[in-house]
Amino acid sequence: MAKYVFVTGGVVSALGKGIAAASLGNLLTGRGLKVVLQKFDPYLNVDPGTMSPYQHGEVYVLDDGAECDLDLGHYERFTDVSLTQDNNLTAGKVYETILYNERKGKYLGRTVQTIPHVTDEIKRRIQLPAEKDRDLDVVITEIGGTVGDIESLPFLEAIRQLRLELPPEDTCSVHLTLVPYISTAGEIKTKPTQHSVAELRSIGIQADFLICRANQPIGDDARRKIALFCNLPPEFVFDGQDVDSIYQVPLNYHQQHMDELVCKRLDLDPPEEAELADWERMTRIILDPPDRVRIAIVGKYTELKDAYKSISESFVHAGIPNLVGVDLKWVDSESLEGREVGDRKLAEVFEGCHGVLVPGGFGDRGIQGKVNAIRYAREKRIPFLGLCLGLHCAMIDMARDLAGLEMANSAEFDPASPHKVIHLMEDQQYIEMMGGTMRLGAWPCVIKPDTLAHRCYGIDEVRERHRHRYEVNNAYRERLEAAGVVFSGTSPDGSLVEILELPSHPFFLAVQFHPELKSRPRRPHPLFRGFVRAAVDHREGSCGEAAEARGDA
């Protein structure tokens, strides 16, 4: 029988419940237990696929095509376990399921209510992974939002019921709270945590463990005070102090014996002790790399870094084997708008940058700025990596400048363009529903030998995650190939372009998919690893040229 860990948050949102849950999963996995994580969100959207990045941050996509919360990215990165649509649930999905069942007559003769129907569906979804995989040891379920929010009440009630129904040693509650430091008083305050735990108890849930988020150590006195008023042993109150890298968090928890205490609480006898030497070495490189490079990310949601969370983490991963730290310069693509933007301004923007990445996105805002950035990287031989929309913009740039198609564009941005080098997929032509209808999930890609893509991957076929509606227009492939473009990755039948590159350039590569979604700290994605290596080479070449110009070389 699987054990269940419920992770909740109190006082304020954005305390890092996802990182806390992922870190616990990391430690339990390291002890040889089979662990899976879930994220339950109380909002009424069926999934976050139609939400603006400013509302929700990055939409993370799984192999099976599920569009889900960005915390699932943390889960996969920290545990290296590929998740499915069973690992993310929203209140909208719960109500959609219940209303569908009601219309089918499943509840015939009964009034459909929050209790028992909504809570029963939530409990069913909590236990679903363990029902599908009888070898699972632990299911960790994170509840989005903050205790006290009206939206999360059905989820918390479902947890209360499940903890009552299962043996006491089969469940435990981990509650994450804020312990603020009041500078005028010169001390930390435990009262918000006490109120948050009291709120949780009023719902019928006693927290078994507390993680106290703070910007400095909480100290033994505060720990004992919190334990006393929250009805816990002091050793069950963990210090969740701010750290420089999220990859330090499992190490911090392990030092406080969190994994050992959780295993004891759940009556688990893990087959191994947590072996973290490799994770510690990795973290040391992240915190103190021998060298650094700088990458410009030219995007349209740069005000909210969580919109590109997987990309920024992929650069952390790629820096490890290259023994460098990657500094990111966030460039608003709208600031580079207009075809009249000259090289002087672009040179100022990209000064000191050793690579340019153009990420995915939707809509025509900031597109010309992305095209201008790609042209500059291409002409100045700066390493370039384009992701999804980045490939579309690269096609527009090269069609205009290399193939002579001056009015080339994407049908998404200019339906009247005479040269739609990017067009709507045929099976997307008549779709009216917006949610979950794009080309989603992992699809195969065959890679041409003797290409940059093949040198990065080192294999002939890969499966990468997609999230888009528009594709390269095959009618223009021959003309672009004649201009020097190599379509180095395609679908197995050759009908869909997956990767393009310019062999005449040191590193110019764009992909239709999202490689950042499959990068892991212990397994950096090959394209990011290769791109960072190219950035290192470019920096060293630039330094050499600069030194030669000064007479130092």
The number of CA neighbours under 13 Å toward the Cβ of 307 is: 20
Token pair listed for 343: 């090289």
Please state, for a pLDDT cut of 70, what percent of the chain lies above it.
95
Among 388, 393, 445, 456, the active-site one is 388
pLDDT for the residue numbered 547: 45
- Residues near 215 by beta carbon (within 8 Å), at least 6 away in sequence: 181, 241, 242
- Residues near 229 by beta carbon (within 8 Å), at least 6 away in sequence: 190, 194, 197
Helix (H), strand (E) at residue 225: helix 219-230
Q: With CA atoms as reference, report the closest residue to 404 among 478, 479, 312.
A: 479
239 pLDDT more than 60: yes
Q: Give the mean model confidence (pLDDT) for residues 208-213.
A: 97
Structure confidence by residue, pLDDT tens digits, 330-382:
999 999 986 567 788 899 999 999 999 999 988 888 899 999 999 999 999 99
Question: Using an 8 Å Cβ cutoff, are 388 and 469 in contact?
Answer: no
461 pLDDT more than 50: yes
Question: Using an 8 Å Cβ cutoff, are 508 and 397 in contact?
Answer: no
Structure confidence by residue, pLDDT tens digits, 443-455:
999 999 999 999 9
Please state, for a pLDDT cut of 90, what percent of the chain lies above it.
84
Return the C-alpha torsion angle 522, 523, 524, 527, nearest 10: 170
Is 514 known to be catalytic? yes
C-beta neighbour count of 221 within 10 angstroms: 11
Overall pTM > 0.85 = yes
Q: Give the mean model confidence (pLDDT) for residues 258-272.
A: 94
pLDDT for the residue numbered 432: 57
Among 67, 142, 471, 516, the active-site one is 516
Q: Give the mean model confidence (pLDDT) for residues 162-186.
A: 94
525 pLDDT more than 90: yes
Token pair listed for 232: 């816990």
Q: In which band, very low, low, confident or very high, does the pLDDT at 545 lie, cut at 50, 70 and 90? A: low
216 pLDDT more than 80: yes
C-beta neighbour count of 236 within 10 angstroms: 23
Mean pLDDT of the chain: 93
pLDDT greater at residue 67 or residue 55: 67
Structure confidence by residue, pLDDT tens digits, 2-39:
999 999 999 998 899 999 999 999 999 999 999 999 99
DSSP state of 118: I
117 pLDDT more than 70: yes
pLDDT for the residue numbered 343: 81
Residue 115, Ramachandran bin (φ over 0: left; ψ between -120 and 50: alpha; else beta): beta
pLDDT for the residue numbered 550: 42
User: HEC states along 285-319?
Assistant: HHHCCCEEEEEEEEECCCCCHHHHHHHHHHHHHHH
Is 516 known to be catalytic? yes
Pairing of β 209-214 and β 237-241: parallel
Domains (ranges, CATH) in the chain? 3-280 (3.40.50.300), 289-542 (3.40.50.880)
Separation between Cα atoms, residue 266 and residue 272, nearest integer Å: 16
Separation between Cα atoms, residue 354 and residue 70, nearest integer Å: 28
Is 388 known to be catalytic? yes
